[in-house]
Structure 1
């Protein structure tokens, strides 16, 4: 069986489903690193984390709880 690498969105979605709770940029960056996605630098990692959080909010997996900062809670 071929091991298909997870996308950033898939890796974070899996963690959200398993852990629930509050999600912010730093928690998402940590999750991406733990799943083997190593960014080029911290700024790029944070930008990608915010993008993934927005995608998952559009999908309905997360609900934005802060109107200014990238802080979400699990919709489950």
Structure 2
């Protein structure tokens, strides 16, 4: 595995960990959120944004907003 691939994999695991907490351990719900177009993210699928630092931060921002009941 290349260092770049390892970094993206780490980001994916990091996000899934946060989502599993948000979805009370429901892996199907977390994966569905990750792979569905998200209007807040310009209709991008969150999983596709994890390849860049800004994309990761945008996904985390949306998740944190959801956790705190803020509009997204």
So what's the TM-score if we normalise by structure 1? Answer: 0.30
Question: Whose helix fraction is larger, Structure 1's or Structure 2's?
Answer: 2
Question: Whose strand fraction is larger, Structure 1's or Structure 2's?
Answer: 1
Q: RCO higher in 1 or 2 (8 Å CA, sep ≥ 6)? A: 1
